[in-house]
Chain A
Amino acid sequence: EAQVTQNPRYLITVTGKKLTVTCSQNMNHEYMSWYRQDPGLGLRQIYYSMNVEVTDKGDVPEGYKVSRKEKRNFPLILESPSPNQTSLYFCASSFYRGQGASNYGYTFGSGTRLTVV
C-alpha cells in the first residue's frame, strides 16, 4: 500500500530533550515536506526537500532541523524542544511537479501529536 509513515503517533517530552520524528514513504517521491498544524492557523510548512541531500526552509523553520540522506526518509529533528513547539506534525510527499501531470498531489502521514512540557 502506498503510504507515508510517521512515528511516533504521540509523544510527550520535556523542554530541552532532543527528539526525532521519523517519516518514510514508499512511493519513490522526490519531494518531501514537514508541516505543523495549530488551531486557527491551518498547516504551515517547516522544511521541505526536493531530493536527496537537497533541503530548504519553509515558513516556520526556527527550532527544527531535517536531513535527507535517502530518498524514502525525511526525519524531523528538534534539538532543544520548547513548549511553543507543542503541535500536530505532518509529513507529506509528492512527485516533483510536472506540468499537468495527473498523478501530481501530496500524500500525508497520519500525524504526530507532540507535547513539550
Chain B
Amino acid sequence: AQSVTQLDSQVPVFEEAPVELRCNYSSSVSVYLFWYVQYPNQGLQLLLKYLSGSTLVKGINGFEAEFNKSQTSFHLRKPSVHISDTAEYFCAVSEGSGSARQLTFGSGTQLTVLP
C-alpha cells in the first residue's frame, strides 16, 4: 500500500528567502505525484504534478519539485517566497498501475511566510 510522509508539519520562513517542503513516499509500483496548496478557508488547488518524463517539474506561482526515484522523494521548492505563499501544502501520491482507487495524501505542511 502506498503512503506519504511530509516530514515538517510547520515551516516558518522570512519573505524572499528560499524554501523546501519535504515529501517522501512509499509504493511498490510506479507512481504519480502531486503537490496541492490550500489557502485559508479554501479548497485544494493543484500546484504541480509528476506523471512521467523529466524529473524536474515546474508548477504555478514559481514552485517546482524534483522526483527522485532512488530516494522516493518529491520535495517542493521555491527560490524566493512571498507573504501570499502562506498556506498549507499537501503532497499526494497515486499508483501508476493497477487500481484507480487511491490518491493518498500526506498530513500537510503549514508554510508561514514572515515579513
Contacts and interface: CB of A to CB of B under 8 A. Distances in A.
A94 B96 CA distance: 14
A13 B64 CA distance: 42
A31 interface: yes
B100 A100 contact: no
A67 interface: no
Contact of B107 (A40, A45, A50): A40
A28 to B, nearest CB: 16
Chain B interface, DSSP helix/strand/loop, else mixed? loop
Contact of B44 (A45, A94, A108): A108
Nearest to B49: A105
B79 to A, nearest CB: 25
* Interface range on chain B (Cβ under 8 Å from partner): 20 to 34
A110 interface: yes
Interface string A96-117: 1101111011111111000000
Interface of B: 4, 6, 9, 32, 34, 36, 42-46, 49, 51-53, 90, 92, 94, 96-97, 100-108
A48 interface: yes
Contact of A110 (B32, B42, B51): B42
B57 to A, nearest CB: 12
B42 A99 contact: no
5 tightest A-B contacts by CB?
A: A42-B107, A42-B105, A43-B105, A108-B44, A110-B43
Given A40-B9, A42-B107, A101-B51, A90 B100 contact: no
Contacts of A108: 36, 43-45
